[in-house]
């Protein structure tokens, strides 16, 4: 992108580690603002807490930033456990980042939002769309919806592009989270086996997308010009938990996966992403293929390790 500088807040995280290399390859100069150290040598790392005004002031003063991507968030389960921290991080921190962004003349602000901003709506016959009235039912959804509204208003007032990408539940290899470890373990344990505990009842349906696909979807939204509107739903697959468990067990080795009794709460199961498909040509991700590909990667990695060992 002709040497434009993009700030990725939360770039050391699950999505950021995959998004930053894509941005570099596209010609961006990338600054990763995070509290967790960055392992990528071709990214400028700044240890920043987005809730701290002074730290943001120094950051924006020292670097001419053109684009901002905000991936910083206290996630759904953690927000239920600590609603105060969710408010501080998701609303106060993001508001301060938005404020500095428009005051320093950024061109685009991309917010990683969530379908939880919509609340528990939709059906197979009538999935929710970007035009559906948002009716969040919990703190996490409220924080996401507030930032969507604030960003939209500020972008119209201060002449910058604001995009909120409503994401589904994200899965992929990585460090397991304390509240939903299964999202990473279904990849991490494909070859070594072991037990995985799903909290959801086997008859529940959960909207999922692999993290690699989410990073690609965000990249496309950042780099495509003349988007139509502030909000986009990103592609996902709706999985019946029973079928998901069966698929993972068939692909993995020596896995024992058990379901629970929880219901899917906080967000819609049936979400239309026709808008992003039409505007950007994006297609449905394949979790099954991602699992197969990652298992082959692990096998190949272990094979090479045995040879060199």
Domain assignment present for 218: yes
- Do residues 194 and 303 both lie within one domain? yes
- Do residues 277 and 143 both lie within one domain? yes
Q: Which whole number is the average pLDDT over 246-258?
A: 96
pLDDT for 252: 96
- Do residues 125 and 251 both lie within one domain? no
Q: Which whole number is the average pLDDT over 254-277?
A: 95
Q: Provide the number of structural domains found in the chain.
A: 2
Residue 280, pLDDT above cutoff 90: yes
pTM over 0.75: yes
Q: Which residues contact 296 (CB under 8 A, 6 or more apart)?
A: none
Domain assignment present for 304: yes
- Do residues 227 and 259 both lie within one domain? no
pLDDT for 308: 41
Strand partners for 33 = 9, 46
- Do residues 226 and 254 both lie within one domain? no
Residue 1, pLDDT above cutoff 80: no
pLDDT for 119: 97
Residue 145, pLDDT above cutoff 80: yes
Alpha-helix residue ranges (DSSP H) falling in the chain: 16-25, 53-62, 76-81, 83-86, 94-103, 139-158, 182-188, 211-223, 241-251, 274-280, 287-308
- Do residues 64 and 74 both lie within one domain? yes
Q: Which whole number is the average pLDDT over 98-108?
A: 97
Domain assignment present for 175: no
Categorize the per-residue pLDDT at 303 as very low, low, confident or very high, splitting at 50, 70 and 90.
low
Q: How distant, in Å, are the alpha carbons of 76, 108, 220 from that of 11?
A: 19, 17, 17
Residue 19, pLDDT above cutoff 70: yes
237-240: strand order across its sheet: 169-171, 205-210, 237-240
pLDDT for 36: 92
Widest CA span of the chain, in angstroms?
61
Strand partners for 29 = 5
Domain hosting 31: range is 5-170+211-236+267-286
Residue 307, pLDDT above cutoff 70: no
Give the pLDDT confidence of 180-229 residue by residue, as tens digits: 899 999 999 999 999 999 999 999 999 999 999 999 999 999 999 888 88
Give the pLDDT confidence of 53-72 residue by residue, as tens digits: 999 999 999 999 999 999 99
Q: Contact, 233 vs 171, CB < 8 A?
A: no
Give the pLDDT confidence of 147-164 residue by residue, as tens digits: 999 999 999 999 999 999
């Amino acid at each position: 992108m002709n040497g434009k500088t993009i700030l990725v807040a939360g770039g050391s995280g699950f999505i950021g580690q995959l998004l930053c290399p894509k941005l570099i390859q596209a010609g961006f100069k990338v600054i990763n603002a995070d509290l967790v150290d960055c392992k990528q040598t071709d990214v400028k790392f700044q240890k920043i807490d987005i809730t701290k005004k002074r730290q943001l002031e120094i950051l924006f003063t020292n670097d001419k930033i053109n684009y901002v991507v905000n991936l910083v968030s206290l996630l759904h389960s953690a927000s239920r456990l600590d609603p105060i921290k969710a408010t501080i991080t998701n609303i106060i921190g993001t508001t301060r980042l938005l404020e500095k962004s428009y005051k320093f003349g950024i061109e685009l602000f991309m917010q990683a939002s969530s379908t939880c901003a919509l609340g528990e709506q939709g059906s197979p016959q009538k999935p929710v769309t970007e035009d559906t009235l948002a009716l969040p039912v919990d703190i996490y959804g409220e924080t996401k919806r507030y930032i969507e509204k604030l960003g939209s208003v500020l972008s119209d007032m201060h002449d910058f592009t604001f995009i909120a990408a409503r994401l589904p539940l994200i899965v992929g290899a990585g460090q397991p989270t304390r509240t939903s470890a299964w999202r990473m373990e279904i990849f991490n344990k494909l070859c070594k086996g072991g037990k995985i505990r799903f909290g959801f009842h086997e008859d529940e349906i959960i909207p999922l997308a692999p993290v690699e696909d989410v990073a690609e979807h965000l990249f496309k939204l950042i780099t495509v010009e003349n988007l139509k509107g502030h909000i986009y739903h990103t592609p996902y697959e709706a999985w019946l938990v029973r079928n998901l468990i069966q698929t993972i067990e068939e692909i993995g080795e020596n896995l024992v996966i058990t379901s629970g009794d929880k219901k899917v709460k906080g967000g819609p199961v049936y979400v239309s992403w026709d808008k992003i498909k039409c505007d950007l040509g994006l297609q449905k991700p394949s979790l099954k293929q991602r699992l197969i590909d990652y298992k082959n990667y692990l096998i190949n990695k272990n094979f090479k390790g045995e040879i060199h060992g």
